[in-house]
Structure 1
């Protein structure tokens, strides 16, 4: 049996992650996908009913299904994520006054950008509404 504290911690972390994911829909530099994936993982461990709700959600459900079934993201997610990384790292590198930190940021950016771009892309041919 799971400890109540562990369940509470995972549920709280999932709710916070989901809140950040929702904010990411409206804030261009805050990524939605990683936070929704984190929320899903937390809810799997703590609250199956919240996980089922998240999977059935019209906005987040397809994103989670795509990741769970194919370990892939949509081309739109890839584009938004790439642009957000380029903008935020460029701004950070520009703002930092120390050359060694700039080099460190640049190397870190290159590493995570390559990892991110290697995630497979899956876009369904037609949305379900278009098939009717």
Structure 2
């Protein structure tokens, strides 16, 4: 069972890393799942994961305080908005454009009103 948890930990850590690069994928939930599975699978892997730059940049403040620094919020929102603007401008499918706009509105709502700012 521990091998399954460790494997799932690496899988979700990979999805979380991919989520840093692709704004449509949610980074934080995948990294939270990775942390959960590493904690269940191996103390050594959990300690390693919580010491990585990926964890410290995206989850550490959120886990400790259920909040994010203003600088972190701004950088995440700016990067994600920039990446979402590319398909918004280049794609001619109106349904996809509306979906992207709804996603952007939800993203800003969530970051501004649901996550506390430190």
Query: Fold match, TM over 0.5?
Result: yes
Structure 1: gaps spanning 5 or more residues? 123-132
Q: Specify the structure having the higher radius of gyration (Cα).
A: 1
Shift of 1:115: 0.7
Q: Deviations over 1:12-53 (max 9, x none)?
A: 2322333455677xxx74579625433212212322321123
Structure 2: 5+ residue stretches without partners: none
The structure with higher relative contact order (CA 8 Å, sep 6+) is 2
Structure 1 residue 45 corresponds to structure 2 residue 52: no
User: Which has a greater percent of helix?
Assistant: 2
Q: Which of 73, 76, 93 is the aligned partner of 1:78? A: 73
Distance 2:71 2:22 in 1: 15
State the distance in 1 between where 2:52 and 2:45 align: 14
Equivalent of 2:99 in 104, 107, 113? 104
Equivalent residues in 2 for 1:1-132, closer than 5 Å: 4=1, 7-19=2-14, 29-30=21-22, 34=28, 35-55=30-50, 57=51, 59=53, 60-61=55-56, 64-118=59-113, 119-122=115-118
Distance 1:62 1:105 in 2: 26
**Matches of 2:110 and 2:90, distance apart in 1:** 25
Given that 1:33 and 1:77 are in contact with CA atoms closer than 8 Å, whether structure 2 keeps it comes out as: no
Q: Is the 8 A contact 1:72 1:121 kept in 2?
A: yes
Contact kept? 1:29, 1:84, Cα under 8 Å: no
Q: Structure 1's 84 and 54: CA in aligned 2 closer, same or farther, altered over 3 A?
A: same
